[in-house]
Amino acid sequence: MKIFNPANEELIAEVAEDSVDEVGAKYKKARKAQAEWAKVRVEDRIAVVQKFHDYLESNKTELASVLTSEVGKPLKQSVGELAGARSRIRFFIKESADLLAEEVVMSSNSMTEKIQYEPLGVIANISAWNYPYLVGVNVFIPALIAGNAVLYKPSEYSTLTGLEIARAFSDAGLPEGLFQVVVGKAGAGQALIELPLDGYFFTGSHATGQRIYEAVAPKMVPCQMELGGKDPLYVTDENADMAKVAAAAAEGAFYNNGQSCCAVERIYVHENVYDAFMESFLEEVKSFKVGSPTDEDTFIGPLTRGQQAIVIEGQIQDAVSKGAKLELGGKAISGPGHYFEPTVLSNVNEEMIIMKDESFGPVIGVQKVANDDHAIQLMQDTEYGLTASVYSDSYERAESIMDKMNVGTVYWNCCDRVSANVPWSGRKHSGFGSTLSHIGIRAFTRPKAWHLREG
Ligand code: NAD
């Protein structure tokens, strides 16, 4: 498998894809290793994860540079991703022992009832390229702490990072076989699905997620799906500092080149503040430096996948043909490198693809709305259900809007944000099941109920 740098389209590595037999051999090794790992005390498993965390800290510069070289993420954002991943690992280290301990829930006379949290066994973690460390640690860290073995399938666009993660675990002293990388494209993922695994944890697009869920369903094992989004952000007409709101919305839409599952993908603005918002918003987007991801001041690097430019240009053409106004950008920048102009469209409406399908790039549509009811109706008019954000100086007003959102996460005066303390989950085409929080720790266990009567 050839790996190219999206910033200059140069070949940076060639790695061998795993054959079906090789994936099968990795599974056998994982099965054996897991049986032993399950007997290790949680505290000792956590000690290994602590060493993994420390390795990421000590090697952050090199690891960020590998990540940037294969996905094109600005170096500063790669360093930020590694810092975010370490902070999540610290959350798991702090919270897991208590959450995985046996719980005596009832004890009276001669009867005791308790809950034991057993590992699932060997699980598949099929992952995406846009935040390989962040979405990766959400799954493989709590899975390993809970006593599972993980067959980790990185995206074909972040394979080198996947291999670095395996190296970090090996350096941390994780017993062999417990974390193995399955190298390859869709075929390698399919090989994992053929195996009799005990759980499937997928991060990626809705289309692939649906295919995997269908294939896994007959196995009757746990399956979680963290999929795409078309996340709305609404600006009410109660915002004293419109420049601040516009700056936050622009960052939410364009951070990581818009290639975030919870990127702001649709903006709705109350008509009373529309002009003020637009003025600041366009200023902000114009200030974003597009360039080489290794330049210190670059905010927007290349798209990770060159072919996404065709999808984005198609969405822009569809919108313009239906009456949208191109305020900024609009096209790919000629190579080398998969660069795309930061693009803003106004006068958009819900008939346009750009307000319906995930764009996953540096492009955003801004729509004027008459009132909160109009905003709510449009925000909810989507197949997705990942996040929704409301900017308003009035919490009561924002709360009544957030309350009506059928999504896994709502934001007041913030956006494009994930925290380890609360569950990360989608609804509808954005998936199901949760990672992070106490729910995302126990997700990697099977509860066993013990009913114990003495005498
Ligand atoms: P993708 O669906 O193309 O690929 C995801 C993974 O699935 C890759 O490892 C890929 O090789 C593998 N795969 C592809 N076809 C397969 C098959 N038939 N069987 C088994 N495995 C297969 O997604 P992507 O382009 O890597 O990631 C971008 C998508 O992920 C976006 O939609 C984004 O919103 C979503 N995402 C969601 C979250 C979340 O937390 N909800 C986080 C990150 C990314």
Within 8 A by CB and 6+ apart from 404, the residues are 376, 380
**CA pair distance 120, 239, nearest whole angstrom:** 48
Tens digit of pLDDT at every position of the chain (455 positions) = 999 999 999 999 999 999 999 999 999 999 999 999 999 999 999 999 999 999 999 999 999 999 999 999 999 999 999 999 999 999 999 999 999 999 999 999 899 999 999 999 999 999 999 999 999 999 999 999 999 999 999 999 999 999 999 999 999 999 999 999 999 999 999 999 999 999 999 999 999 999 999 999 999 999 999 999 999 999 999 999 999 999 999 999 999 999 999 999 999 999 999 999 999 999 999 999 999 999 999 999 999 999 999 999 999 999 999 999 999 999 999 989 999 999 999 999 999 999 999 999 999 999 999 999 999 999 999 999 999 999 999 999 999 999 999 999 999 999 999 999 999 999 999 999 999 999 999 999 999 999 999 98
Give the predicted TM-score (pTM) of the model: 0.97
**CA pair distance 121, 393, nearest whole angstrom:** 48
Residues annotated catalytic, as ranges: 226, 261
**CA pair distance 440, 422, nearest whole angstrom:** 9
- How many A from CA of 203 to the centre of ligand 1? 5
Residue 175, judged by CB atoms within 10 A of its CB (0-12, 13-18, 19+), counts as middle
Contact call for residues 290 and 333 (beta carbons, < 8 A)? yes
Q: Tell the residue number behind the tokens 């965390």, with chain if given.
A: 53
Q: Which of 267, 256, 245 is nearest to 369 (CA)?
A: 267
Pocket of ligand 1 (CB under 6 A): 126-131, 135, 153, 155-156, 185-186, 189-190, 193, 203-205, 208, 211-212, 226-229, 261, 358, 360, 386, 426, 431
- How many A from CA of 134 to the centre of ligand 1? 14
- Give the closest residue (by CA) to ligand 1 atom 26: 128
Atom of ligand 1 nearest to the CA of 192: 20
- Give the closest residue (by CA) to ligand 1 atom 23: 204
The two structure tokens encoding residue 141: 């860290």
Strand 11-14 to strand 2-4: parallel, antiparallel, or no bridges (unpaired)? Answer: antiparallel
**CA pair distance 264, 283, nearest whole angstrom:** 18
**CA pair distance 239, 295, nearest whole angstrom:** 35
- How many A from CA of 205 to the centre of ligand 1? 4
CA angle 292, 298, 300 (to 5 degrees): 85
Residue 112, judged by CB atoms within 10 A of its CB (0-12, 13-18, 19+), counts as middle
Atom of ligand 1 nearest to the CA of 204: 30
- How many A from CA of 170 to the centre of ligand 1? 26
**CA pair distance 400, 77, nearest whole angstrom:** 34
